[in-house]
Chains A and B, each alone.
Chain A
Amino acid sequence: MLQQFEDALVQYDELDALFSQYVVNFGAGDGANWLTFFCQPVKSWNGLILRKPIDMEKRELIQRQEATLLDLRSYLFSRQCTLLLFLQRPWEVAQRALELLHSCVQELKLLEVSVPPGALDCWVFLSCLEVLQRIEGCCDRAQIDSNIAHTVGLWSYATEKLKSLGYLCGLVSEKGPNSEDLNRTVDLLAGLGAERPETANTAQSPYKKLKEALSSVEAFEKHYLDLSHAAIEMHTSIGRTRSARLVGKDLAEFYMRKKSPQKAEIYLQGALKSYLAEGWALPITHTRKQLAECQKHLGQTENYLQTSSLLASDHHLTEEERKRFCQEILSFASRQTDSPGHKIVLPLHCFAQLRDLHFTPSNAVVHVGGVLSVDITMCSQMPVPVRVEQIAINVHFSIEKNNYRKTAEWLTKHKTSNGIINFPVETSPFPTSQNNLPALELYEMFERSPSDNSLNTTGIICKNVHMLLRRQESSTSLETPSGVALEDGAHVLKCRDVTLEPGPNRITFRTQAKEPGTYTLRQLCASLGPVWFVLPHLYPPAQYDVYSQEPQLRVEPLADSLLAGIPQKVKFTVTTGHYTVKNGDSLQLSNAEAMLILCHAENRAVIYSNTREKASDVSLRVQSSDKVTSISLPAAPAYHMIEFELEVLSLPSAPVTGGESSMLGVTEPHRKHKDTQKAGHCMATTDHKVSIDCPWSIYSTVIALTFSVPFRTTHSLLSAGTRKYIQVCVQNLSELDFQLSDGNLADPGRGADLQLVPLNAKSPQHISSKQSVFFVWELKWTREPPPSLRCQFSVGFSPASEGQLSIPLKPYTYEFQVENFFTLYNVRAEILPPAGTEHCRTGSLCSLEVSITRLSDLLDVDKDEALTESDEYFSTKLMYEVVDNSSNWAVCGKSSGVISMPVAAQATHRVHMEVMPLFAGYLPLPDVRLFKYLPHHSAHSSQLDADSWIENDSLSVDQHVGDQLDSGSIRSRGSVHSASSSEHKGLPMPRLQALPPGQVFNSSTGMQVLVIPSRDDHVLEVSVT
Chain B
Amino acid sequence: MVHTSLDVVDEKISAMGKALVDQRELYLGLLYPTEDYKVYGYVTNSKVKFVMVVDSSNTALRDNEIRSMFRKLHNSYTDVMCNPFYNPGDRIQSRAFDSMVTSMMIQVC
Contact = CB atoms under 8 A, between A and B. Distances in A.
A275 B3 contact: yes
Nearest to B2: A280
A160 to B, nearest CB: 8
Interface stretch (A102-110, A182-190, A776-784, A856-864): A102-110
B3 A283 contact: yes
B14 to A, nearest CB: 9
Interface in A486-528: none
Interface in A99-121: 99, 102, 105-106, 109-110
Interface string A418-458: 00000000000000001100000000000000000000000
A694 interface: no
A31 interface: no
Interface residues of B, number: 15
B33 A246 contact: no
A241 interface: yes
A24 interface: yes
B64 interface: no
B33 A109 contact: no
Most chain A Cβ neighbours within 10 Å, of B3, B10, B33, B57? B3
A27 B35 CA distance: 18
A246 B2 CA distance: 11
Contacts of B56: 102, 106
Interface in B1-48: 1, 3-4, 6-8, 10-11, 33-35
Contact of B33 (A102, A278, A434): A102
B89 A243 contact: no
B12 to A, nearest CB: 11
B4 A109 contact: no
A157 B57 CA distance: 18
A243 B8 CA distance: 9
Interface in B41-67: 56-57, 59
Interface in A876-928: none
B11 A149 contact: yes
Given A98-B33, A102-B56, A105-B35, A241 B7 contact: yes
A988 interface: no
Given A106-B57, A110-B57, A239 B89 contact: no
Interface residues of A, number: 26
A713 B80 CA distance: 76
Contacts of A235: 7
B47 to A, nearest CB: 14
A242 interface: yes
B63 to A, nearest CB: 14
Given A99-B33, A435-B89, A24 B59 contact: yes
B1 to A, nearest CB: 8
Given A98-B33, A102-B56, A434 B89 contact: yes
Given A102-B34, A102-B35, A434-B89, A242 B6 contact: yes
A61 B10 CA distance: 45
A240 interface: yes
Contacts of A24: 59
Contacts of B33: 98-99, 102
A283 B1 CA distance: 9
A240 B11 contact: yes
B81 to A, nearest CB: 16
B57 A239 contact: no
B79 to A, nearest CB: 23
A109 B3 contact: no
A37 to B, nearest CB: 21
Interface string A228-264: 0000000100111111011000000000000000000
A242 B3 contact: yes
Nearest to B58: A106
A240 B59 contact: no
A242 B35 contact: no
A275 B2 CA distance: 12
Given A102-B34, A102-B35, A240-B8, A280 B3 contact: yes
Contacts of B35: 102, 105-106, 157
Contacts of A245: 4
Given A434-B89, A435-B89, A239 B7 contact: yes
Nearest to A120: B35
A240 B57 CA distance: 27
A280 B6 CA distance: 12
Contacts of B8: 240
Nearest to A95: B33
B49 to A, nearest CB: 12
Given A102-B33, A102-B35, A278 B3 contact: yes
Given A102-B33, A105-B35, A243 B7 contact: yes
A24 B59 CA distance: 8
B7 A242 contact: yes
Contacts of B4: 240, 242-243, 245-246
B78 to A, nearest CB: 21
B104 to A, nearest CB: 22
B28 to A, nearest CB: 15
Interface string A76-116: 00000000000000000000001100100110011000000
A324 B1 CA distance: 28
Contacts of B1: 246
Contacts of B7: 235, 239-243
Contacts of B10: 239
Contacts of A243: 4, 7
A283 B5 CA distance: 14
A238 B59 CA distance: 31
Nearest to B33: A102
A27 B59 CA distance: 10
A270 B1 CA distance: 17
Nearest to B56: A106
Contacts of A241: 7
Contacts of A110: 57
A910 B16 CA distance: 118
A157 B32 CA distance: 12
B107 to A, nearest CB: 18
Interface centre among A239, A242, A278 (most CB of B within 10 A): A242
Interface in A277-291: 278, 280, 283
A902 B33 CA distance: 136
A242 B3 CA distance: 7
A24 B61 CA distance: 12
Contacts of A98: 33
A110 B36 CA distance: 12
Contacts of B11: 149, 238-240
A246 B1 CA distance: 8
A377 B1 CA distance: 39
Contacts of A102: 33-35, 56
A98 B33 CA distance: 8
Contacts of A105: 35
A238 B7 CA distance: 10
A98 B32 CA distance: 11
Interface string A11-27: 00000000000001001
Interface string A149-186: 10000000100000000000000000000000000000
A976 B59 CA distance: 131
A239 B9 CA distance: 12
Contacts of A240: 4, 7-8, 11
A121 to B, nearest CB: 10
Given A102-B35, A240-B8, A246-B1, 13 more contacts: A24-B59, A27-B59, A102-B56, A106-B35, A157-B35, A238-B11, A239-B11, A240-B4, A240-B11, A242-B3, A275-B3, A278-B3, A280-B3
8 contacts: A98-B33, A99-B33, A102-B34, A102-B35, A157-B35, A242-B6, A280-B3, A283-B3
Q: Which 9 pairs show the lowest CB-CB distances between chains A and B?
A: A240-B7, A242-B7, A243-B4, A242-B4, A24-B59, A246-B4, A243-B7, A106-B56, A280-B3
Interface of A: 24, 27, 98-99, 102, 105-106, 109-110, 149, 157, 235, 238-243, 245-246, 275, 278, 280, 283, 434-435
